[in-house]
Chains A and B, each alone.
Chain A
Amino acid sequence: MNEASAIRLCLKSRDPRGFEFLVQQYRREAYYHAIGFLNDPAMAEDICQESFVKAYINIPKLESLKAFYPWFYVILKNCCLSYLRSKREHDEIPEVIDESSDPAMLVTGDDSKQSAWRALQKLKPEFREILILKHLQDMSYEAISQILQIPKGTVMSRLYHARKAFKLAFDKGD
C-alpha cells in the first residue's frame, strides 16, 4: 500500500486499513510537531491521538486529498494551539508555553543545544514552528511551503524573522 491508495481507501470505501497505514507513516512526524508546539511529551501524545481521531472522523467528508500530512497538520496544529489557549486561560500564564519540561528529555545534544531549545520555546508559535520544521525536521522550503500552505517566499521571509527572534531569545537566556 502507498499513500495514494491509503487515501483512496479512506475516501471511497471508508476502510480503516487505509487510515492505519497513514497513521503509521506520519505518527512520528506528528509527535515531533506536537512536541514542538507543546514542549510536553505526555500532552503531545494526547494531542496526537486526539488529532488522529478527528482526522479519521473527517477524512471521509473530503471529496479528494492529494497528500495526507499537510491536511492533517492543520488539524494537529489547531489542536495544539487550542490546548495552549485553554491552558493559558486556565493557568493565567502570560507566556505561550510551559517551559517546565526538561529539554534533555525532549532533544538530544549538549548544554548549548538545550539552551537553544529553551530559546525556541520563548518564541511565538509561528516562529517556533518554522524553525523546528527547518532545523529539527530538516525540511526544504518546498516541503515547508506545502505543509504550512504558504508561498516559498514567505517561508524564507518568516525564517529570517524567526532567526532574528531566536537570536534575541537565546542571548536573553544566556
Chain B
Amino acid sequence: MDDEHDKELLSGLIDGELSPEEANTVNRHLSRSTSYRKEYESLLADTSKLDGLSFREPQDEALQGFWRLPFSGFARHAGMVLVITGYLLFFSYGFFEFLASDEKDFVSKFGVAGMVIGMLILLCIALIERFISYKTDPYKEIER
C-alpha cells in the first residue's frame, strides 16, 4: 500500500475532501497497512503545524490605496499640459510684443531674451529627463 496516488488520497482524507467511496478505501487501507498509517500520522502532524496560522489584518489605508481611478491620473496630466501650453503661449506673445516694441533699449531686450531663452532651455531639459524616466519606469501603469 505505498502507491503514490493512495498516499495523495491521505491529503484528501485529512481535509475531509474525499468522496464516501474514496474515504472507505483509504480507511480500509489504514486499518490494514502499518506503513500507510505511519504516513497518515506523519502527514497529519505536519499539517497541524500550519493550522491556526493566519495573516495579520492590513491597515484600511493600505487597502484603500489599491485603487485610484486611472481617470484622475489622466485629468492631472491633461491639466498639466493645458497649464504649460497656456503659459508658453502667453509668455511667447509677451516676449514677441516686447521685442517688437519701438523702444531702443537693446540692453534690456537682450537681457530679457537671455532669461527667457535660458528658462526655455531648462524647461526642455526637465521635460526630456522626465520623459526618459517615464520610459524606464517599471511602475508607470500604477496610479501614484
Q: Which residues of A lie under 8 Å from residue B52 when comparing CB positions?
A: 109, 113
Q: Which residues of B lie under 8 Å from residue A120 when comparing CB positions?
A: 50
A35 to B141, CA, bound (A): 21
User: Cβ of B15 and Cβ of A109 under 8 Å apart?
Assistant: no
Task: Count how many chain A residues have C-beta atoms less than 8 Å from C-beta atoms of the other chain.
Answer: 49
Q: Chain A residue with minimal CB distance to B53?
A: A113
Q: Which residues of B lie under 8 Å from residue A106 when comparing CB positions?
A: 55-56
Contact sample, A vs B, 30 pairs, CB 8 Å cutoff: A19-B67, A20-B69, A23-B66, A31-B58, A31-B62, A41-B58, A45-B58, A45-B62, A45-B65, A49-B67, A49-B142, A50-B141, A50-B142, A53-B142, A57-B70, A86-B138, A105-B56, A106-B55, A108-B56, A109-B53, A116-B53, A117-B53, A136-B50, A156-B15, A159-B15, A163-B43, A163-B47, A164-B43, A166-B49, A166-B50
A50 to B52, CA, bound (A): 30
User: Cβ of B66 and Cβ of A27 under 8 Å apart?
Assistant: yes
Nearest chain B CB to A138's CB is how many angstroms away? 9
Which of B8, B50, B138 is A135 in contact with, Cβ under 8 Å? B50
Chain A interface, DSSP helix/strand/loop, else mixed: helix
A161 to B7, CA, bound (A): 10
A25 to B11, CA, bound (A): 30
A60-72 near B? 1/0 per residue, CB < 8 Å? 0000000000000
Which of B7, B9, B12, B67 is A27 in contact with, Cβ under 8 Å? B67
B136 at the interface (CB under 8 A from A): no
A46 to B140, CA, bound (A): 12
Q: Which residues of A lie under 8 Å from residue B51 when comparing CB positions?
A: 135
Within 8 A of B (CB), among A115-174: 116-117, 120, 131, 134-136, 140-141, 152, 156-157, 159-161, 163-164, 166-167, 170
Interface residues of B (CB under 8 A from A): 5, 7-12, 15, 17, 42-43, 46-47, 49-56, 58, 62-63, 65-67, 69-71, 138-139, 141-143
A131 to B43, CA, bound (A): 13
A78 to B42, CA, bound (A): 34
A57 to B70, CA, bound (A): 9
Within 8 A of B (CB), among A88-108: 105-108
Nearest chain B CB to A56's CB is how many angstroms away? 6
Q: Which residues of A lie under 8 Å from residue B69 when comparing CB positions?
A: 16, 20
Q: Chain A residue with minimal CB distance to B143?
A: A53
A107 to B7, CA, bound (A): 30
A37 at the interface (CB under 8 A from B): no
Q: Which residues of A lie under 8 Å from residue B15 when comparing CB positions?
A: 134, 141, 156, 159
Q: Which residues of A lie under 8 Å from residue B143 when comparing CB positions?
A: 49, 53
User: Cβ of A156 and Cβ of B66 under 8 Å apart?
Assistant: no
Excluding A30-B66, A49-B65, 12 further A-B contacts by CB distance (< 8 Å) are: A27-B67, A48-B66, A49-B66, A52-B66, A53-B143, A107-B55, A136-B50, A141-B12, A157-B11, A159-B11, A160-B11, A164-B43
User: Cβ of B53 and Cβ of A136 under 8 Å apart?
Assistant: yes
